[in-house]
Amino acid sequence: MLTIHAADQVVGGGGDLKDGAVAVDGARIAAVGALPELTERFPGARVRRWPGVLGPGLVHDGPLPDAPSPRERVHAVLKLGATAVVAGHVGTAELRAAAERNEVRVLGAARAAVLEVEGRADLAVFAEEYGVGEAVATVCAGRLVHRRR
């Protein structure tokens, strides 16, 4: 099912968009643009509106937060808006398996993420400033994996 994720502002897609949106088809980004344009282009799509600023999922370049289990450590990263981690910080087989089960990318080095058509649908929404604080929502490979209540 195609889903449009809309927010007050979208960053990381080649410029800042007020009332912007990202159309997600499966695990890939189908389009980035103004919400009215995307709802017209994809009339049957489900629309999720998020308060705040939407941008590409972050890369977590540091030790994973402490938690009782590898799954919970990976989930703690997702709550921060990260959809990728640097390999040096997931040194155990259990952590790598937990990241893989949640489709969190394990990268050799940190790199800047962007929203690009046909790219993997890794998104993060933050309440006021992109990348600051706990994410309002995190989408990893097109799947909503964290939503703050």
The pTM for the full model equals 0.93
Q: What is the pLDDT of residue 132?
A: 93
Whether domain 2-56+112-140 has CATH 2.30.40.10? yes
Confidence of residue 88 (pLDDT cuts 50, 70, 90): very high
DSSP state of 67: -
- % residues pLDDT > 70 (the chain): 100
Report the pLDDT averaged over residues 123-133: 94
Q: What is the pLDDT of residue 13?
A: 76
Better-predicted residue by pLDDT, 97 or 15: 97
Query: Alpha-carbon distance 135 to 42, whole Å?
Result: 26
pLDDT for 149 beyond 80: no
Angle between helices 70-79 and 93-101 (to 10 degrees): 50
Model pLDDT for residues 53-84, shown as the tens digit of each residue:
999 999 999 999 999 999 999 999 999 999 99
pLDDT for 24 beyond 90: yes
Confidence of residue 148 (pLDDT cuts 50, 70, 90): confident
Query: Alpha-carbon distance 78 to 65, whole Å?
Result: 11
CATH 2.30.40.10 domain range(s) in the chain: 2-56+112-140
Of 36, 11, 39, the closest CA to residue 115 belongs to 11
Q: What is the pLDDT of residue 4?
A: 98
Which residues lie below 8 Å from residue 37, measured CB to CB, with a gap of 6+?
Answer: none
